[in-house]
Chains A and B, each alone.
Chain A
């Protein structure tokens, strides 16, 4: 049960965003750009990073939603439990492993990252833009995980199945933009 009266048991993070669309539209635009705009990472890889980071934070809602989105993009659902258990032994492309190790340290002990961690990402063939994108995705999901958990939002498997279709159709910005436009029409 969420901690806020404006949220009900079926609430998702989108309901937080449309509660204050002026504030949240820049974040919606940013999210859409980062997860769907040009990037050295495929859309599936970006959703995988989002789901993995959320799993590290034990954020059931974000992990469930983004694992469902990633699965639709071809990522094996069983992969997440294995990644969360041990990145080294998980059945995933070797070049993603240093990226995911970076995500783990950045999520759990952000002040402990070193040049060697970054160099491992570069040595796997990723460029600076890739590392910059991965850092931004990790930071953004550490943000969303806390928005979600801070409001007491948990989600259910049925919700994750619904929301993945919504994300595929509308992306991460449209609902907040529509809410802001509706609010502005009302006030004029």
Chain B
């Protein structure tokens, strides 16, 4: 499904990027820096955060794509349903729990963040740079979730898995390099 009459049938993110090649270039460059550049958070942890936050927004496309990307990087696929149900009891590294709680709250009620929410991340041993990256990833998935659901992007499970294969191997810059040349 797509909400755009000129693109009937199933719309993929690639179709959306093709409609806006210039924007796609800047966005994918930003994704590459945030999700693959230097960070105290591992690539797997960053993909886990992106997938989890997208799940909080009930964005099927982003949640599934990043869940499979994280799975390629060693994260248990079954973890996400447990995290979305209850972070406290989910079998995830205790250091990630205050980060995931922050992402959930920043996604659902952004204006309510407090110093105590931030301090819980520092108390788990993370530094300011890690926290900076957490905020960025959360803001970014909130962007992408709305681009995808706002345009009616919807593809099947096989395409979610294929996207996870691509993002875990060639990254966002690799996806950008495969976009059609701009006319």
Contacts and interface: CB of A to CB of B under 8 A. Distances in A.
Interface centre among B3, B29, B33 (most CB of A within 10 A): B3
B138 A146 contact: yes
Contacts of A45: none
A27 B37 CA distance: 16
Interface residues of B, number: 47
Interface of A is mostly: helix
B151 interface: yes
Contact of A34 (B5, B23, B140): B23
A30 B142 contact: no
Interface stretch (B53-61, B80-88, B90-98, B157-165): B53-61
A131 B16 CA distance: 13
A110 interface: yes
Interface in A1-17: 1, 3-6
Nearest to B53: A146
Contacts, number: 131
A143 B142 contact: yes
Contacts of A128: 4-6
Contacts of A135: 146-147, 150-151
A132 B140 contact: no
Interface residues of A, number: 47
Contacts of A20: 132
Contact of A147 (B26, B33, B136): B136
Interface of B: 1, 3-6, 19-20, 22-23, 26-27, 29-30, 33-34, 37, 57-60, 102, 106-107, 110-111, 113, 115, 118, 128, 131-132, 134-136, 138-140, 142-147, 149-152
Interface of A: 1, 3-6, 19-20, 22-23, 26-27, 29-30, 33-34, 57-60, 102, 106-107, 110-111, 113, 115, 117-118, 122, 128, 131-132, 135-136, 138-140, 142-147, 149-152
5 contacts: A33-B22, A58-B111, A110-B58, A139-B146, A139-B150
